[in-house]
């Protein structure tokens, strides 16, 4: 089973993008593809944890965080993930203090 996470990175100049898993930088391997989306092939329990997409250009940087839970070897459950910055998202919520939170829903699992 594979896991796909899409960060929807945009910007000019186009940002440099990196991904980390539990604060360790991910490198492209035969089991991991990353650019603006991250694909983890052959997901196991050890692939659960905190995934972060970091995008940076001369205008600034943005961070997108996903919490991933893997139960057993055949089932993946992703809790709501929160975008801490202004990126493309599917749903926008405004808190009572006027601060925006972004929530990612409906990520694709294959």
CATH number at residue 64: 2.60.40
Domain span at 13: 3-107
For the cut 80, the answer to whether the pLDDT of residue 28 exceeds it is no
pLDDT-derived band at 34, boundaries 50, 70, 90: low
For the cut 90, the answer to whether the pLDDT of residue 3 exceeds it is no
Q: What CA–CA distance (Å, rounded) separates 17 from 19? A: 7
For residue range 46-105, list pLDDT tens digits in order: 888 888 888 888 988 888 888 887 766 544 444 444 433 322 333 334 445 544 443 333
What pLDDT was estimated at residue 33?
59
| Closest C-alpha among 84, 75, 83 to residue 105 | 83
Domain count, the chain: 1
pLDDT-derived band at 14, boundaries 50, 70, 90: confident
């Amino acid at each position: 089973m594979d896991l796909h996470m899409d960060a929807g990175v945009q910007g000019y100049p186009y940002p440099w993008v990196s991904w980390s898993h539990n604060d360790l930088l991910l490198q492209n391997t035969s089991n991991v593809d990353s650019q603006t989306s991250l694909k983890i092939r052959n997901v196991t329990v050890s692939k659960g944890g905190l995934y972060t997409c970091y995008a940076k250009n001369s205008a600034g940087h943005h961070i997108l965080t996903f919490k991933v839970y893997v139960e057993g070897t055949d089932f993946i459950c992703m809790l709501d993930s929160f975008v801490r910055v202004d990126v493309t998202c599917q749903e926008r919520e405004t808190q009572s203090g006027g601060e925006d939170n972004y929530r990612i829903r409906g990520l694709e699992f294959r």
